[in-house]
């Protein structure tokens, strides 16, 4: 029986346990609870690929880096031991500006910017559990992209309170900038082409008939 089938969801695990699992086991740890990750859809992957391309092009020559999933992010203090870490996530996109947080196995500490692409199986996790988790550990900017509804939800960490401010919701049309990177201009229309204008067929009024010549 594989390790994936042996995991007890009632038990609490640490990053030390996580490192022993085979690569094909796709779980995240949320406060020590193993949460299985479902296979992403084609649309989900296309959105990630295009966002990473645009963000990566912008970050060329800069100190920040962008990492797509699979990429382990340990939300913990820099000096935390592996058996003390109980939050390990794989954000769809992570932007990290502190190179000291990046190591061979992923990232230790909060990325500066995280983007999650919503799917039906991850909605509550991304919008509730991860939102609270990212706020707690100081992720400065958090986006959730809805590829079906074509909206993006954005939270920014307030420096004074250490809490997220009110959510900003925008349509994924035209261009979009990031609070952390105001010079970055994301082109949504590359991902979500505007709908074709409707074609109206003009019908003759009732009772009016056209004769054939």
- Per-residue pLDDT tens over the stretch 55-109: 999 999 999 999 999 999 999 999 999 999 999 999 999 999 999 999 999 999 9
For position 192, what pLDDT does the model report? 85
For position 2, what pLDDT does the model report? 46
> Range with the lowest mean pLDDT among 19-23, 122-126, 139-143?
122-126
Q: Give the Cα-Cα-Cα angle 7, 104, 15 (nearest 5 degrees).
A: 25
Backbone angles phi, psi at 183, to 5 degrees: -85, -10
Q: Residue 156's beta-bridge partner residues?
A: 141
The pLDDT > 90 percentage for the chain reads 72
Question: All domains of the chain, ordered by start, with CATH?
Answer: 42-70+90-191 (3.90.1570.10)
Name the pairing type of β-strands 93-96 and 33-36. unpaired
The number of residues making up the chain comes to 213
Q: Is the model's pLDDT at 211 over the cut of 60?
A: no
């Amino acid at each position: 029986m594989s390790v994936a089938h042996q995991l007890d969801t009632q038990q609490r695990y640490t990053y030390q346990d996580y490192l022993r699992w085979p690569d094909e086991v796709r779980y995240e740890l949320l406060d020590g609870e193993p949460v299985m990750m479902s296979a992403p859809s084609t649309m989900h992957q296309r959105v990630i690929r295009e966002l990473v391309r645009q963000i990566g092009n912008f970050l060329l020559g800069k100190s920040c880096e962008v990492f797509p999933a699979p990429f382990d992010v340990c939300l913990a203090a820099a000096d935390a031991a592996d058996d003390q870490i109980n939050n390990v996530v794989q954000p769809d996109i992570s932007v990290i500006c502190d190179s000291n947080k990046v190591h061979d196995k992923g990232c230790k500490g909060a990325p500066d910017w995280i983007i999650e692409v919503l799917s039906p199986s991850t909605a509550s996790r991304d919008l509730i559990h991860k939102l609270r988790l990212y706020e707690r550990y100081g992720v400065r900017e958090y986006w959730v992209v809805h590829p079906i509804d074509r909206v993006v939800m954005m939270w920014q960490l307030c420096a004074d309170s250490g809490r997220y401010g009110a959510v900003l919701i925008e349509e994924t049309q035209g261009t979009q900038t990031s609070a952390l990177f105001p010079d970055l201009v994301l082109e949504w229309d590359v991902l979500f082409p505007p709908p074709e204008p409707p074609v109206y067929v003009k019908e003759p009024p009732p009772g009016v008939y056209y004769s054939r010549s």
